[in-house]
Structure formats: structure tokens, C-alpha cells
């Protein structure tokens, strides 16, 4: 048992080696004078769960083509995503990202009218965003216009963007952290079982013994809420775990194509992304499934789902109210059909994909087995509604991050705010080197 000697207590413990936890580790080791840092990751490598390239859209979101963003949110995302863009160019392995065109496509008179309005609002904030019509759309992405009714209105906004393997970037953050003179200690295959407050520190009980830290940053995705609730925090929150599958089409797109967001729908609209590891394959999705799991294909996490969401009558009623609202229920039920054997891909092709590629045939489409992660939608169980934006809970010298929106794209910007809070927790002898950070990421 700890004898409370300070040399056995870390200044900071990070729980979770996905891109958010790894980004915090990178900033702590490079831009602060904190020397006793540890990261605990339950998997054998960083970024194997939601940061895994198979479980996300592989897109560096900056707010220009994401039609579910308001202008205010887009501005915030643009600022924070610029830090990661700078990291890609300055630090990241060159095969961990790729530049490509990205566009949002409007089909039909109503969508075109909405996209025209959006362009007028957004064009001053995004001067590189171009409005293009059918002819230029066809030059960039021939399959978007081949076989389409000539009279069907079509419009797109297009810009240059990045496809990113966020799991590789998480690994890169950790590798760069190790180059610091005050290299942090890194433990893989070390699952945190519990976090217990003591008088001057936290005790973290893990599969490899106990660790002790004055401050803790829990970056374990939806599992963060499990830890928070056990410590008495976040009682007003629950998790609605939304899983998504992807379908594969060979040689469909040259760049990323996003569809217009369905108004009032919390789930992302269908989009097509050339796979960063195999650009000849385009992934279309995600479909939507509500699963009682906090990690896809990991049925042990069903218990954690119950702890975060429906352990109380109030929590269960919140999930029922949200899931069974007419608009969301229709959308979820329709998506259930997309995962059915034999007819699923035909329905998905006819009802969704042909809006993007009119000439697409069902035999060109195949379900990608084992691909697609869990996106934890945070529920306010007191108000019985979904919460959007950063889901963060701050306690006494501890921070729980559930899912910053839009996730990996803002990893460095979000981690910067976390690190600044950690420095405040630790006291006046510690600092965040803003000047050095700005030199690396603002110049």
C-alpha cells in the first residue's frame, strides 16, 4: 500500500489511449513543465476503438461541408481543427493522411435552395469553399451525374480537405510524447477497473496493480461516464449508443461526398469516403442502429451501458422518449432493414445510394463486415433530450471526457483546454507554454 511519498504519485494520469487521451499526453509532455505523467490504455496499442480508421469517417471536419453545423459551431471547429491540420503537416507520418476533394451534394429543388442559402452565409468564413453546378460536379465526380435525370436540380459546395487515419495519429501523439526530455510513462494492456479519491490524490486500480495521481483525465469515450457516475458526477447524463455499418463500392468516388443533413435529425447523413488504406474502395454510410453496448462487438460493455443509461426509471424513460419520437423512430426502423441479409443492400442502394450515384446497381454494393464503431449520443435524463457539443464533466482535480464534438478533428484544440485545466488543478508552480504552442501551431 502507498506510503504517501510524493515520488510514488504522478502529477497526471490519463485513462484512455485514443486520439483525445493521446493528444492530451502530447501537449502535457511538450508544452508544460509537468514531469510525472502516465497514460493507461486497456488495449495493446493506441487508437484501436473509436479512433480506429474502420470505426469513423476518416475525415478532418472543419465545418465547411457539414450541414448539421451552425455558423457559430463551424467557426469553433475550424479554429480547433486547424491545430490538427498543422500537426499532420509538421509531425505526422505521411501515410497517415491524404489530401483530397470533399463536397456536400444537394439533390432536388428544396436541397439546392437550402445549400444556396448556406453558401451565402458561410462563404466569407470559408473563402476556399466553391459553389459548383452539374457540369463541374461531373468533372470532379463523374458517377454523381452519370445516369441522372438531366432535369434534376443539382448543386455542390467543394473544397480541399484531409482523409485521416486517426488511430495512426493517436500513435503518433504518443510517439512524439516519448521524445520529450520528461517522457511520460505509457502502459498498454492496462485496464482501469476503478478510480478512488484519497486525501491528496486518486488511486487507480488496474489490471496491473495500483497507480496514484494528483489529477486525472478520463478520456475513455462513453466509459468515462461510468467512472464519473461511480464518483457521484454526471448523474444527469446517460448514453444512447448509436452504431453504424458501412457498405463498400469499388471505384465509386475520387473524394469525399457528404449529403445534406436531414433537418432535426441527430444522426449524420449518409456520406461516401474513399478508404484511406485502400482508396479504390469507397465506404458509404453509416447506417444507424441503437445497441445496448458502449463498444461495438464487445458484449461485456452491456453492463456499462446499463450503468450509464437505464439504471433508473428516469433514464429508461429518457431513452424511450428520444428513440420513439416519430421522426427518429421512422429513421431507425428504416435503417434496421439496411442490415438485413439479402435485401439489406438492395434497399440501401435504392433508398440511399442512388441519390448519390444514380446508376449504381445492388451487385456493386457489399456490406463491410466488422466495420463501424459506436457513437455515444449523450442524453440529459433530467430534460429527456439529446445533448450536442462537448460532453465533459469536471470534478475535483478530475475531468471526464465522453465525446467532444466532432471528435477526433478537434483533438488538439480540445486537449489544449483540458491541459490548461489540469495546470490550474496542480497550482502556480506549473504552466502551459502558450508561446511555444503558438509557434508550432499558429505560424
- What is the CATH architecture assignment of 10-58+165-236+384-443? 3-Layer(bba) Sandwich (3.50)
Q: Which residue is it, cell 465526380? A: 141
Yes or no: say if 40 and 63 are a contact pair by the CB < 8 Å rule: no
Q: Give the three-state DSSP class for 333.
A: helix
Helix H, strand E, coil C: the string for 362-391 is HHHEEECCCCCCEEEEEEECCCCEEECCCE
* Nearest-angstrom CA–CA distance, 378 and 385: 9
Write the CA distances from 64 to 68, 70, 135, 369, 411, integer angstroms.
Answer: 10, 10, 22, 31, 18
Read off the C-alpha cell for 107. Answer: 439533390
Q: How far apart are CA 92 and CA 408, in angstroms?
A: 14
Q: Where are the domains of the chain?
A: 10-58+165-236+384-443
> 3-class SS at 50?
coil
State the DSSP string of 76-139.
HHHHHHHHHHHHHHHTS-GGGEEEEEEEEEEESHHHHHHHHHHHHHHTTT-TT-EEE-HHHHHH
Q: Give the C-alpha separation, 125 to 97, whole Å.
A: 25
Q: What is the pLDDT, as a whole number, of residue 390?
A: 62
For 150, the grid coordinates are 438531366
Please report the pLDDT score of residue 1 as a whole number.
42
d(C-alpha 37, C-alpha 14), whole Å: 8
Question: Would you state the pLDDT for residue 115?
Answer: 98
Interatomic CA distance for residues 212 and 223, integer angstroms = 20
Count of helices and strands (H, E) across the chain: 13, 20
Quick one: DSSP state of residue 345?
A: H
d(CA 229, CA 304) in angstroms, rounded, equals 11
The angle at the Cα of 409, spanning 407 to 410, to the nearest 5 degrees, equals 80
3-state class (DSSP) for residue 183: coil
- CA nearest neighbour of 256 among 238, 234, 279: 279
Radius of gyration of the chain (CA): 22
> Among 15, 50, 12, which residue's Cα sits nearest to residue 400?
15
Q: Across the beta sheet with 97-107, what order do the strands follow?
A: 130-132, 154-164, 97-107, 256-259, 271-274, 281-285, 247-250, 365-367
H or E element in which residue 250 lies: strand 247-250
What distance in Å separates the CA atoms of residue 109 and residue 103, rounded to the nearest whole number?
18
Q: What is the pLDDT along the chain (443 residues), one digit of tens a residue?
A: 444 456 689 999 999 999 999 999 999 999 999 999 999 999 999 999 989 898 888 999 999 999 989 999 999 999 999 999 999 999 999 999 999 999 999 999 999 999 999 999 999 999 999 999 999 999 999 999 999 999 999 999 999 999 999 999 999 999 999 998 778 999 999 999 999 999 999 999 999 999 999 999 999 999 999 999 999 999 888 888 888 889 999 999 999 999 998 876 767 789 999 999 999 999 999 888 888 888 888 889 998 888 876 667 777 788 777 777 777 788 888 888 988 888 989 999 999 999 999 999 999 999 888 788 888 888 888 888 877 666 789 999 999 998 756 789 999 999 999 999 999 999 999 999 999 999 999 86
Residue with cell 501515410: 95
Which pLDDT does position 405 carry in this prediction?
Answer: 62
Amino acid at each position: 500500500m502507498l506510503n504517501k511519498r510524493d515520488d510514488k504519485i504522478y502529477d497526471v494520469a490519463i485513462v484512455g489511449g485514443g486520439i483525445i487521451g493521446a493528444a492530451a499526453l502530447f501537449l502535457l509532455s511538450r508544452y508544460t513543465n509537468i514531469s510525472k505523467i502516465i497514460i493507461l490504455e486497456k488495449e495493446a496499442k493506441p487508437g484501436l476503438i473509436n479512433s480506429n480508421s474502420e470505426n469513423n469517417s476518416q475525415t478532418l471536419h472543419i465545418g465547411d461541408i457539414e450541414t448539421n453545423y451552425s455558423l457559430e459551431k463551424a467557426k469553433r471547429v475550424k479554429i480547433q481543427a486547424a491545430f490538427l491540420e498543422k500537426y499532420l503537416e509538421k509531425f505526422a507520418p505521411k501515410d497517415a493522411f491524404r489530401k483530397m476533394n470533399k463536397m456536400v451534394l444537394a439533390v432536388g429543388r428544396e436541397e439546392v435552395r437550402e445549400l444556396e442559402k448556406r453558401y451565402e452565409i458561410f462563404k466569407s468564413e470559408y473563402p476556399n469553399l466553391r459553389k459548383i453546378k452539374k457540369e463541374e460536379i461531373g468533372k470532379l465526380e463523374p458517377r454523381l451525374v452519370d445516369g441522372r435525370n438531366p432535369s434534376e436540380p443539382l448543386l455542390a459546395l467543394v473544397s480541399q480537405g484531409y482523409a485521416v487515419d486517426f488511430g495512426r495519429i493517436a500513435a503518433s501523439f504518443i510517439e512524439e510524447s516519448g521524445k520529450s526530455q520528461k517522457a511520460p510513462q505509457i502502459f498498454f494492456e492496462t485496464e482501469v477497473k476503478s478510480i478512488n479519491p484519497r486525501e491528496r490524490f486518486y488511486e487507480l486500480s488496474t489490471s496491473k496493480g495500483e497507480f496514484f495521481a494528483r489529477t486525472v483525465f478520463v478520456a475513455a469515450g462513453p466509459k468515462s461516464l461510468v467512472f464519473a457516475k461511480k464518483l457521484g458526477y454526471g448523474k444527469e447524463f446517460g448514453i444512447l449508443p448509436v452504431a453504424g455499418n458501412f457498405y463498400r463500392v469499388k471505384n465509386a468516388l475520387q473524394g469525399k461526398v457528404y449529403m445534406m443533413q436531414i433537418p432535426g435529425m441527430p444522426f449524420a447523413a449518409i456520406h461516401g469516403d474513399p478508404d484511406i488504406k485502400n482508396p479504390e474502395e469507397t465506404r458509404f454510410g453509416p447506417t444507424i442502429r441503437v445497441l445496448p453496448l458502449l463498444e461495438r462487438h464487445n458484449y461485456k460493455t452491456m453492463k456499462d451501458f446499463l450503468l450509464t443509461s437505464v439504471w433508473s426509471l428516469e433514464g429508461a424513460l429518457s431513452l424511450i422518449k428520444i428513440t420513439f419520437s416519430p421522426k427518429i423512430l421512422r429513421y431507425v426502423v428504416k435503417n434496421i432493414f439496411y442490415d438485413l441479409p439479402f435485401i439489406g443492400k438492395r434497399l440501401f442502394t435504392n433508398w440511399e445510394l442512388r441519390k448519390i450515384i444514380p446508376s449504381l446497381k445492388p451487385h456493386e454494393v457489399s456490406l463491410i463486415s466488422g466495420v463501424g464503431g459506436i457513437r455515444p449520443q449523450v442524453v440529459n435524463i433530467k430534460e429527456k433530450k439529446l445533448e450536442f457539443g462537448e460532453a465533459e464533466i469536471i470534478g475535483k482535480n478530475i475531468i471526464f471526457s465522453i465525446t467532444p464534438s466532432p471528435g477526433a478533428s478537434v483533438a488538439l484544440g480540445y486537449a489544449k483546454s483540458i491541459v490548461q485545466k489540469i495546470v490550474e488543478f496542480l497550482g502556480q508552480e506549473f504552466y502551459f507554454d502558450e508561446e511555444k504552442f503558438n509557434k508550432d501551431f499558429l505560424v
